[in-house]
Structure 1
Amino acid sequence: MNGGSSASGANTWHGPHSTVVRHAARIPDRTAVVVGGESLTWRELDGASAALAARLTAAGVRPGRVVVLYRQQCVETVVGMVAAARIGAAWCVAEPAHPVAMLHALLDDVDCGAVVFDPGDPATPADAVRRLVAEGRTAVPAVLEGHDPVVPAQVPADAVDMPGSAPAYVITTSGTTGRPKAVIVTADNLITMLDSRRYDAPPPADAPYPPDGPVSFSAMRLTWDGALLLTLWALWTGGTAVLPGHEELTDAEATARLVGTRRVTHLAATPSFYRLMLPVMAGFDSHLRLVVLAGEALPVPVVERHRALLPDVEVLNEYGPTEVTITCVAHPVRGPLAPTVPIGRPTGECTAYVLDGRLSPVAPGVLGELYVGGRQVAAGYAARPGLTSTRFVADPFDDRPGARLYRTGDLTLTNEHGELEFHGRSDGQVKIRGVRLERQAVTAAVESHPAVGQAAVLPVPNEHGETTLVAFWTPAAGAEALPGVRELLAHCARQLVAQAVPERFVVVDAFPLGRTGKTDEAALCAQLPAAAPAAARGRRRWTPLQQSLGALWAAVLQHDDFGLDDTFFDVGGNSRRVIDLHLRIERDWPGALRVGRLFDLPTVAAQAKALETVRAEAPAAGPEPAPGTDGPAAGARSDGPVLFEI
């Protein structure tokens, strides 16, 4: 890989910038990176990252510090990652859609040298970002305007090489109290992971790679380390790294179209999002070679659908917590399917042990907690020495000085084939659409509403086997008016990332208790309404068409607390549910609305108006269903840092 050795923390880290420079000299006009509709050649990526690196250096960013890329996902995000590496700094991607408290916590925990943002983006106006970064800090950070010239003589001619123990990037993950944890991944961790990847096996002679080499696609946000798996691999190998832009990230159909348009050879996604992409991917086996699924448990039905549509495309089920550098265990999904798809065996130099409470190995077939060791184990949590010491423990199975194991908190067993199987968590964490969350943090957010007395947030599988969050709650004593679902959704959205906002809210009189006096979660789940609510009353002023659409919305959202002009995503919609809504609309009005239009028509009123237009232009369209009808469930969001505009 030419990125440096992974033998010890004393080795030199050349970083992704070294491969960018090398490929820019060797294949300057090939496409290096694509994000949404934007692309850069290797020459352009080299030049753009060098220019930003120069400006970062001129702004006072030094090796070892962190550059926060505070922007919606675009090609400049990748430029910022490479630019940070060029000057020996670590990158950390943060999105404007995340709660403000998360950015504050990140800036407090890491040694942030610069915050890079785009003042031309409505999501990050300059004045608002300046206030945001300055709030609550002892020193207001300096601000560097986005187009200040940089004197070339002020900038080192060569990129900075760093020791392998230096931080390469920082990824935030959920914390028990809602305060995110910043995981520091070192250069050696990253190089070890990349050296273990062998995705570039020679393709079949009758279906070779494109002339420009393999094309990777990560259907993920760069705020999550899963997106780095194939993105950095493509940059290392001289292929093309493709990612969805922020506009495509919640639109599975648009994301899948990118896979076809760019003739992707290697695809990475979470199982739940891949299921939504599959209906658009017929014929993609003409160029697609491998699908890597990671971030959550892989349901058997997803594999079955993949095999029916793309039988010659291999599926790899990968597993790995952020604290062990992206992924560390993998299983090629071949042959007959068992009820549980294994997560597989350790990759590269990683080790994995299923241990009991005394750190002793358990017998095959017996559940225990999974501990992972090897050189991919990250440095720890920024500014959290106590938490680091409890999760990163001494490795009794490794003779190397300082060798550590990471306690994953995942319950696993070793099956009869010697492969690991995932069977849930030993604590309150859960993964929703690839994002690891703490149930306690979500519960605390729900309980912070003044009308909520007690809350319990439980992971509940939906009809596709995907995990969703359901919030059960009791009214607070003396509460005069109970909040509706819309109000609770908005309340939680102000405090939590999108994946952490519960999909359902169920009010109960009291929580059932088990024999130990704790909440009986099974009995609580039994109180879930079996059917979706009917359309709400009091909509007599809605037209019959609007009432019909309202019934579909209620069936998909599993509540009826919305009005004509409420935005679908503000009342509980997400990328999975918008596909479900489209399928129901398609059933009643075939061909009337593309799924992508639902993002531009996010209200009942807008969708009804569009359907009226379609009906006027094509009178032979399908009949309008009776108001309130519903159909079967369908299948398918200074020392302080320099504030830096680009």
Structure 2
Amino acid sequence: DRPVRELDILPAEERSYLLEELNRTEADYPSDLCVHELFEAQVRRAPDAVALVFEEQSISYGALNADANRLAHHLIELGVRPDQPVAICVERSPAMVVGLLAILKAGGAYVPLDPAYPSERLRQLLDDAGPRRLLCDATGRAALGAEAIADLSVVDLNAATPAWADQSADDPDPHALGLTARHLAYVIYTSGSTGTPKGVMVEHASVLNVLRALLDVSGLTERDSLLAITTISFDIAGLELCLPLAVGAKVVVAHGTSAIGLQRYLSHQKITVMQATPAAWRMLFDAGWEGAPDLSALCGGEALPSELASNLGRRVKSLRNLYGPTETTIWATTFPTDTRIEAPHRYVPIGRPIANTRIYLLDGHGQPVPFGAVGELYIGGAGVARGYLNRPDLTAERFLADPFSGKAGARMYRSGDLARYLPDGNLEFLGRNDDQVKIRGFRIEPGEIAARLLEHELVGDAAVVAHADAAGDKRLVAYVVVKMTDGSAEADGAGLAASLRAHLGGLLPDYMVPSAFVRLEALPLTVNGKLDRKALPVPDDDAYARRAYEAPQGEIETLLAGIWAELLGVERVGRHDNFFELGGHSLLAV
């Protein structure tokens, strides 16, 4: 006898189509190379070609490689070995690229830290990753603080006379280092539902596969110029740097990402490839960008609205929608938007798996759902990460044996995303089966924010959810139950919101700080004792962290207050209110 849940309800033909036909993605890519070896091959091919542009500075492939090699040999002398984490906390600059390449060449796994993060957040990541060596500049050193780096071997990338200046400019020998494609390339941290960020361990072989796959589908060549705009702490940043350098193209590192600045880069640097979130593309349009006929646009990080895709697709050479979690190495599926969609959809499909990648839509018992039915998206293949650093229990929960691939040792990642197959075999993304949200491309676990709120002395209970405004933009809203205290001035609406905002601002990146704070007597619960999200009230104006109201004065203040009120969807804006505390963000500011 077998449990009913183990019975296969699918006809053999449909099961074969779902598991095999839709996953015929095998590609014969070299599997024994490391990421930086693709770059080194281009150095040998065209050492004088421009590899990197930053502001007015241009660096050739040969010069970039020599700088990275000298630093790599220095790191090797400091004791860097394969699989060892090496932290890097720097501003966007050529030194950032040199540092990343040097860590890879030395055999280390880079752990990127954004110097814009709060010091407490950076220290939390350092404590978890446990690197013994840190590459930084003055900004990174200041962001981390002296106490956090006291026990680390610090390499100052801005040193006037670097200790590695006299090191060899030759490529380190990976064989002599014992470095293989199965060693780690990087550890990237994502938001964690329990309040602790998760470090995703990704190997060279996985990065190499996504690079090869995207080179195949994008047609990127040595004649292209790619604009790199993503912060170093996200895996997409590594792709923006490694993809062009793997094929001999030019990478232009943007110093800032304002709409005006991006337009300047796109036109002055003759950019032919750029990847960005839907929010960033919309920001460009809102700022008056008219498009670029020679630009290949890549879009990912959150669902791509069909109306935005239509608008963008008309103004660029090509547009490709991409999907993938950090745990399966940047991108797992791709959809060219010139593909005919049989029926209109609110969002563009996420397409089909890239090379050497397998997609399964499974039910709650791990069995394939019928074609067209909604299932949880599991991802197998070459891109599956090694797991979470220092989190064996969570690794075992999310990274599972792949029973469908037929390959010994194959694994798959349980994404928590919901999807279904469209009639043409493309995948349609349908959201999450848990609380995780994406806002402006940032992956956020509301539970992590709630856990941090509970550390505040006034908070007895808390929940964080994402609310969509009238324009469809998502904003984080925190619901808090205040502890019974005697006469705390902070417990009123405005004072509480300001106190909680300041508390979270010192612990979390700004994109994780809620726009509104709602005080409740108790969190609403379902009959099963779980949070009743449907019963949470929609925040009113007073829920936003605002100052005591004072009417705007003069023509300019009145005009700006009216614009803010319209953008933010609030009734009134006072002269002392803060745009960002009211729920604004840099993209909306445009």
Q: Report which stretch shifted further, 95-104 or 177-186.
A: 95-104
Shift of 1:368: 1.7
Amino acid paired to 2:244: A
Amino acid paired to 2:187: V
1:103 paired with 2:109, answer: no
Matches within 5 A, 1:353-368: 353-368=360-375
Amino acid paired to 2:322: E
TM-score, reference length from structure 2: 0.84
CA distance in 2 between counterparts of 1:541 and 1:422 reads 44
The verdict on how the C-alpha distance between 1:462 and 1:359 changes in structure 2, with shifts beyond 3 A counting, is same
For the residue of structure 2 that corresponds to 1:296, the secondary structure is coil
Shift of 1:329: 1.0
RMSD: 3.3
Correspondence for 1:216: 226
CA distance in 2 between counterparts of 1:153 and 1:34 reads 24
1:522 paired with 2:534, answer: yes
1:39·1:75 contact (CA, 8 Å) conserved in 2?
A: no
1:256·1:277 contact (CA, 8 Å) conserved in 2?
A: yes
Q: In structure 2, which of residues 35, 40, 60 is the aligned counterpart of residue 15 of structure 1? A: 35
Correspondence for 2:194: 177
Higher relative contact order structure (alpha carbons within 8 Å, sequence separation ≥ 6): 1
Q: Report which stretch shifted further, 74-83 or 441-450.
A: 441-450
Amino acid paired to 1:520: D
Correspondence for 2:465: 458
1:188 paired with 2:205, answer: yes
Matches within 5 A, 1:425-440: 425-440=432-447
CA distance in 2 between counterparts of 1:494 and 1:36 reads 31
Gaps of 5+ in 2: 1-26
Seq. identity, %: 31
Correspondence for 1:238: 248
CA distance in 2 between counterparts of 1:534 and 1:88 reads 47
**Between Structure 1 and Structure 2, how many residues are aligned?**
550
For the residue of structure 2 that corresponds to 1:323, the secondary structure is helix
Shift of 1:544: 5.5
Amino acid paired to 1:100: S
Correspondence for 1:504: 516
Shift of 1:520: 2.7
2:132·2:152 contact (CA, 8 Å) conserved in 1?
A: no
2:42·2:246 contact (CA, 8 Å) conserved in 1?
A: no
Correspondence for 1:158: 172
The verdict on how the C-alpha distance between 1:109 and 1:511 changes in structure 2, with shifts beyond 3 A counting, is closer
For the residue of structure 1 that corresponds to 2:199, the secondary structure is strand
Q: In structure 2, which of residues 102, 116, 121 is the aligned counterpart of residue 83 of structure 1? A: 102
2:544·2:583 contact (CA, 8 Å) conserved in 1?
A: no
For the residue of structure 2 that corresponds to 1:363, the secondary structure is coil
Matches within 5 A, 1:104-143: 104-110=123-129, 112-119=131-138, 121=139, 124-125=141-142, 129-134=145-150, 140-143=151-154
The verdict on how the C-alpha distance between 1:402 and 1:306 changes in structure 2, with shifts beyond 3 A counting, is same
Correspondence for 2:20: none
Amino acid paired to 2:247: T
CA distance in 2 between counterparts of 1:386 and 1:73 reads 35
CA distance in 1 between counterparts of 2:123 and 2:570 reads 34
Amino acid paired to 1:473: V
The verdict on how the C-alpha distance between 1:80 and 1:571 changes in structure 2, with shifts beyond 3 A counting, is farther
1:455·1:472 contact (CA, 8 Å) conserved in 2?
A: yes
Amino acid paired to 1:459: A
Shift of 1:396: 0.4
The verdict on how the C-alpha distance between 1:507 and 1:34 changes in structure 2, with shifts beyond 3 A counting, is farther
The verdict on how the C-alpha distance between 1:14 and 1:401 changes in structure 2, with shifts beyond 3 A counting, is same
Q: Report which stretch shifted further, 269-278 or 546-555.
A: 546-555
For the residue of structure 1 that corresponds to 2:104, the secondary structure is helix
Shift of 1:35: 4.2
For the residue of structure 2 that corresponds to 1:354, the secondary structure is strand
The verdict on how the C-alpha distance between 1:322 and 1:535 changes in structure 2, with shifts beyond 3 A counting, is closer
CA distance in 2 between counterparts of 1:430 and 1:533 reads 20
2:552·2:575 contact (CA, 8 Å) conserved in 1?
A: no
CA distance in 2 between counterparts of 1:561 and 1:117 reads 44
For the residue of structure 2 that corresponds to 1:448, the secondary structure is coil
CA distance in 2 between counterparts of 1:190 and 1:429 reads 25
Shift of 1:59: 2.5
Gaps of 5+ in 1: 135-139, 204-208, 580-646
1:225 paired with 2:229, answer: no
For the residue of structure 1 that corresponds to 2:141, the secondary structure is coil
Shift of 1:575: 1.4
Correspondence for 1:608: none
Correspondence for 1:294: 300
Amino acid paired to 2:141: T
For the residue of structure 1 that corresponds to 2:246, the secondary structure is helix
1:260·1:281 contact (CA, 8 Å) conserved in 2?
A: no
